[in-house]
Amino acid sequence: MRRVTGVLGATLGLALVLGACGDGSSSGDGSGTGGAKSATIAIAADPLEYINPLNENGSPGIQIAMAMWAPLVTTDPNTGKTVNVLAESVTPDRTSQTWTVKLKPGHTFQNGQPLTAKDYVDSWNLTAQGSTAWDNNGFFSKVEGYEALNPPTPEGATPKPTSVKTLSGLKLVDELTFTVKLKVPFSQFGLTLQYLGLAPLPEEVRKNPDAYKRKPIGNGPYKLAADWNPGDDIKLAKWDGYKGPNPPEADALTYRFIPNADTAYNEFLAGTVDFVDVPSTKIKTFKTDAPDQWVTAESSGANYLVIPAWDQRFKNPKLRHAFSMAIDRKAYGDLVGLATPANGLIAPDINGYRADACKYCTFDATKAKQLLQEAGGFSGPVNINYNTSSATGQIFAEAIGNMLRQNLGLEVKYTGKQGSEIGELADTRKLDGLRFSGWGHDYPSIEDYLTPMFKSTGDANFSGYSNPALDQVLAKGDSEPDPDKAIKLYQEAEDIALEDMPLIPLIHKQNAYLHSAKIEPRVSKYTGVSALYATFK
The pLDDT tens digits of the residues spanning 66-105 come to: 999 999 999 999 888 899 999 999 999 988 999 999 999 9
Of residues 477 and 8, more confidence is placed in: 477
- Domains of the chain with CATH codes: 70-207 (3.90.76.10), 298-510 (3.10.105.10)
**Percentage of the chain exceeding pLDDT 70:** 93
Q: Provide the pLDDT for residue 58.
A: 80
Q: What is the pLDDT of residues 128-172, one digit of tens each?
A: 999 999 999 988 998 999 999 999 888 778 889 999 999 999 999
Q: Provide the pLDDT for residue 1.
A: 37
The mean pLDDT value for 55-69 works out to 89
Q: Which of 119-128, 138-147, 199-208, 255-264 has the lowest mean pLDDT?
A: 255-264
Instruction: Kindly report whether the global pTM for this prediction surpasses the value 0.85.
Output: no
Judged by DSSP in three states, 179 sits in: strand
Q: Provide the pLDDT for residue 187.
A: 86
Q: What is the pLDDT of residues 332-390, one digit of tens each?
A: 999 988 899 999 999 988 889 999 999 999 999 999 999 999 999 999 999 999 999 88
Judged by DSSP in three states, 403 sits in: helix
> Residue 31: pLDDT above 80?
no
| Average pLDDT, rounded, for the chain | 89
At 32, is the pLDDT very low, low, confident or very high (cuts 50, 70, 90)?
Answer: very low
**Percentage of the chain exceeding pLDDT 90:** 64
Beta-carbon contacts of 430 under 8 Å, excluding residues fewer than 6 positions away, are: none
Cα separation values, 274 from 142, 175, 225, 300, 520, Å: 42, 44, 22, 24, 10
Q: Where are the beta strands (DSSP E) in 47-155?
A: 73-75, 82-84, 87-92, 98-103
Q: Provide the pLDDT for residue 5.
A: 38
Q: Provide the pLDDT for residue 10.
A: 30
Nearest Cα to Cα of residue 9 among 387, 284, 300? 387
> Residue 21: pLDDT above 80?
no
Contact 14, 530 (CB under 8 A): no
Of residues 442 and 534, more confidence is placed in: 534
The mean pLDDT value for 311-334 works out to 97
At 259, is the pLDDT very low, low, confident or very high (cuts 50, 70, 90)?
Answer: confident
At 30, is the pLDDT very low, low, confident or very high (cuts 50, 70, 90)?
Answer: very low
Q: Which of 217-231, 290-304, 501-515 has the lowest mean pLDDT?
A: 290-304
Contact 234, 66 (CB under 8 A): no
